[in-house]
Amino acid sequence: MKITFLGVEGYPQGNRSTISILLEYQDYRILLDCGGSIIGQLDRHGLSACDVDAVFVSHLHADHSSGLPLLLFGNLMERFEKRVSGPGNIAILGNQANIEPVVSYCKAAYPALFGVDSLIRIDLVNIGVFTPLETISGIVLESAPISHTIQGQSLALSIGGYRICYTSDTRRTEMLDNLAKGSDLLICNVLGCDDNLAESFGFLSAAGAANLAHDIGASKLAMIHLPSVLSMSDATKVASDLFSGDIVTPVNGESFLIS
């Protein structure tokens, strides 16, 4: 299994890329969120839009979902250039309140994709709260609501005995604790080291992420969404005082292999 942090930023300034995490297991590829830099980031790793089987949309903020229309259009362009006949296929995962509006936006942006002769087939997959859902690749998905400025979901993935929890943007809640419990890898979207500031904007702080990782018994904590390289260093220092496991602050394009 391979995890690539295609985008780890909350704001696409300069060469920064917004949130998107690629999970590859056997021949199945799933994106956890789909920031606006998605096509370029996939290309840097030798992949295209057609290589993505599914996209999980945690919530509708642009740094997490704005790349989805481009991903769908990129699927069309890739097949057109390679003269591949028939419609493309992709699954959009999330809760109904998230995936229906973002797909409606995609349809408004690229109506030709969804016309009478549909050029892409989208399978909308609702992930119920704490209702395990098994994908065709054998990955089991579970979700819990986030506590953020808008509604959305955190996601847990169980893959061959290994468990990953992606918090997305959220404060700590009892439901998040229950979802993350038993996770080997905890991926947290963190807003710096100021606990009060993070809480007010609906995020975990570095200390909050470390405490969560400690309490659920995680072996590895990955902190993303940090505003700068300096905050990455500061966040690691804060977290290391509270969590004894492995702590990483991935940069755009960084990959990890999990055996």
Q: Domains plus CATH for the chain? A: 2-257 (3.60.15.10)
pLDDT tens readout for residues 98-134: 888 988 999 999 888 887 567 888 899 999 899 999 9
Counting every residue written for the chain, the total comes to: 259
Two tokens at 198?
Answer: 């993070």
Cβ atoms of 214 and 247 closer than 8 Å = no
Characterise 142 by phi-psi region: left (phi > 0), alpha (psi -120 to 50), beta (else). beta
pLDDT at 98: 85
pLDDT at 88: 81
Whether residue 157 has pLDDT greater than 70: yes
pLDDT tens readout for residues 171-204: 999 999 999 999 999 999 999 999 999 999 999 9
The Cα 140–Cα 134 span in angstroms is 4
Two tokens at 179?
Answer: 């979802």
Task: Give strand pairing partners of 186.
Answer: 165, 221
Two tokens at 55?
Answer: 């996209």
pLDDT at 245: 97
pLDDT at 229: 65
Percent residues over pLDDT 70 in the chain: 98
- What is the DSSP pairing of strand 153-159 with strand 162-166? antiparallel
The Cα 44–Cα 230 span in angstroms is 25
Cβ-based burial of 64 (10 A; exposed 0-12, middle 13-18, buried ≥19): buried
> 77-91, 129-143, 170-184, 225-239 — which one is most confidently predicted on average?
170-184
How far does CA 234 lie from the centroid of its chain? 23
**What are the strands of the beta sheet with 54-56, ordered from one edge?**
120-126, 88-94, 54-56, 28-32, 20-25, 2-7, 254-257
Whether residue 230 has pLDDT greater than 70: no
Q: Can you state the angle between helices 206-216 and 229-240, rounded to 10 degrees?
A: 40
Two tokens at 228?
Answer: 């700068």
pLDDT at 113: 84
Backbone angles phi, psi at 209, to 5 degrees: -65, -40
Whether residue 259 has pLDDT greater than 90: no
